[in-house]
Amino acid sequence: MTDSPNRALRVIVFAKAPLPGYAKTRLVPALGEESAAALAERMLKYTLQQCLQAEVGSIELCVAPHREHEYWQSLALPEIVALSSQGEGDLGERLWRAARRAQVTGGSVLLIGTDCPQLTAERLRAAASALQKSDAVIHPTRDGGYALLGLNRVESALFEDISWSTEVVAQQTRERLDMCNMRCDWLETLVDIDEPRDLEFLPRGWEAGL
């Protein structure tokens, strides 16, 4: 744990059910539907494991489809992991709802996905520590998005009219943070596993299972 952890911090993990033809579709040409889904499930479970090991705050798994979907109901989750639904709308609307919900309960929030195996427990702890000194923290990704957004204050402008799934997401978010007078720590650039060219960045040994 960090020396002085933020007891009110909530880590919200955004995840799609790792189902063939639904998750990691951009990897299908390289892996096929079944292997792409299997990789998505491995990254989901790995991300949750890292969140648990980091011990920086409470954990919420925010999912699509709805939490009542059979996959989520059959997934064995530790009792300390809360399960919620992303709901309708674009990614910005869904992120805003989740972040706002966390702030209403009085805490800071780390928003992450399940696409970045480089987002280890150590990096989660470092991000949580940085958030104690700044209004926000970001781990940008090589493709122009971000793997982690940490906030002590949630503003709707951070999620509105963002060009999601493009190379300008992180930059637009940074501009919004400036607009909201929020000091942001820009952490190291990581790699999301979204495209076939990203597969070389998988942890050692993962390729053998594909």
Q: What is the pLDDT of residues 136-170, one digit of tens each?
A: 999 999 999 999 999 999 999 999 999 999 999 99
Instruction: Give the residue-averaged pLDDT of 173-178.
Output: 96
**What is the rounded CA–CA span in Å between residue 64 and residue 56?**
24
Q: H-helix or E-strand containing 150?
A: strand 146-151
> In the predicted model, what is the mean pLDDT of the chain?
93
Express each pLDDT in 51-102 by its tens digit. 999 999 999 999 999 999 999 999 999 999 999 999 999 999 999 999 999 8
Mean pLDDT along residues 176-181? 97
The token pair that represents 5 in the structure block: 């952890």
φ, ψ of residue 24 to 5 degrees: the values are: 55, 45
The radius of gyration of the chain from alpha carbons, rounded to an integer in Å, stands at 16
What sign results for the dihedral spanned by CA atoms 48, 188, 141, 7?
positive
> Which of 34, 21, 35 lies closest to 199 in space, CA to CA?
35
Residue 209 clears pLDDT 70, i.e. is over it: no
CB atoms within 10 A of CB 80: 9
- Using pLDDT thresholds of 50, 70 and 90, give the confidence band for residue 107: confident
Residues 144, 15, 54, 151: is their CA dihedral positive or negative? positive
* One-letter amino acid for residue 79 of the chain: E
Q: What pLDDT does 2 receive?
A: 37
Displacement of CA 74 from its chain's centroid (Å): 22
Percentage above 70 pLDDT, the chain: 95
